[in-house]
């Protein structure tokens, strides 16, 4: 049990709770989990979130349970590699957007731009794995 898991859940939650309602929809939960390489199907999530939305506390619990099942950094790396089609270790915006689309996202261009900008910490127009991890974990690895 570490605080990192809670923080990662919070980051993910914030990513999908764009309007700060304190809840995200079942659909967003499924997306969030796929984004970190977790394997819950929408049907699985539906079972866990029967009323169609989930609070942060419930979401955090869900993420913790999934991670206990063996995802975590391995899942993140897998997700990153899946997004990094060119295999360069950098995601450009095209890769990033294509990944979102493949995950079944319906983000607008503006939303994708915003997420990309948040992720691109050094502003070089690419997201490397380190930046990707930082987005997912607000307590970045020390250099
Ligand atoms: Ca960058």
Going from the Cα of 121 to the center of ligand 1, the distance in angstroms, rounded, reads: 6
Report the DSSP pairing between strands 53-55 and 23-25. Answer: antiparallel
Domains and CATH numbers, the chain: 3-68 (1.10.238.10), 73-136 (1.10.238.10)
The residues, ordered by sequence, that sit 6+ positions from 64 with a Cβ below 8 Å of its Cβ are: 5, 6, 9
Measured between alpha carbons, how far is 58 from 22 in angstroms, rounded to an integer? 11
User: pTM of the entire structure?
Assistant: 0.45
**What is the dihedral angle through the alpha carbons of 44, 48, 50, 51, rounded to the nearest 10 degrees?**
-130
**How high does pLDDT run on average in the chain?**
78
Going from the Cα of 43 to the center of ligand 1, the distance in angstroms, rounded, reads: 35
Going from the Cα of 59 to the center of ligand 1, the distance in angstroms, rounded, reads: 29
**How far does CA 113 lie from the centroid of its chain?**
15
Q: Give pLDDT tens digits for 48-90.
A: 777 888 999 988 888 777 777 655 566 677 778 878 877 889 9
What does the longest C-alpha to C-alpha distance in the chain come to? 43
- The predicted structure's pLDDT at residue 28: 86
Q: Is 123 helix (H, G, I), strand (E, B) or coil?
A: coil
Going from the Cα of 120 to the center of ligand 1, the distance in angstroms, rounded, reads: 4
The number of residues making up the chain comes to 143
Q: Give pLDDT tens digits for 80-114.
A: 887 887 788 999 988 888 877 766 657 788 888 88
Going from the Cα of 129 to the center of ligand 1, the distance in angstroms, rounded, reads: 9
Going from the Cα of 74 to the center of ligand 1, the distance in angstroms, rounded, reads: 21
Measured between alpha carbons, how far is 93 from 18 in angstroms, rounded to an integer? 20
Phi first, then psi, for residue 18 (nearest 5°) are -65, -30
Asked if pLDDT for residue 5 goes beyond 60, the answer is: no
């Amino acid at each position: 049990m570490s605080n990192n898991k809670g923080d990662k859940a919070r980051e993910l939650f914030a990513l999908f709770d764009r309007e700060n309602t304190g809840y995200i929809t079942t659909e967003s939960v499924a997306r969030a989990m796929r984004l970190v390489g977790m394997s819950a199907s929408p049907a699985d999530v539906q079972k866990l979130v029967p009323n169609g939305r989930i609070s942060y506390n419930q979401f955090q619990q869900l993420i913790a349970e999934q991670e206990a099942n063996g995802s975590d950094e391995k899942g993140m790396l897998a997700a990153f590699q899946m997004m990094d089609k060119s295999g360069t270790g950098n995601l450009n915006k095209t890769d990033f957007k294509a990944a979102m689309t493949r995950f079944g996202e319906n983000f607008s261009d503006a939303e994708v731009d915003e997420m990309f900008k948040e992720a691109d910490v050094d502003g070089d127009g690419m997201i490397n794995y380190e930046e990707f991890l930082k987005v997912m974990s607000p307590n970045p690895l020390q250099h």
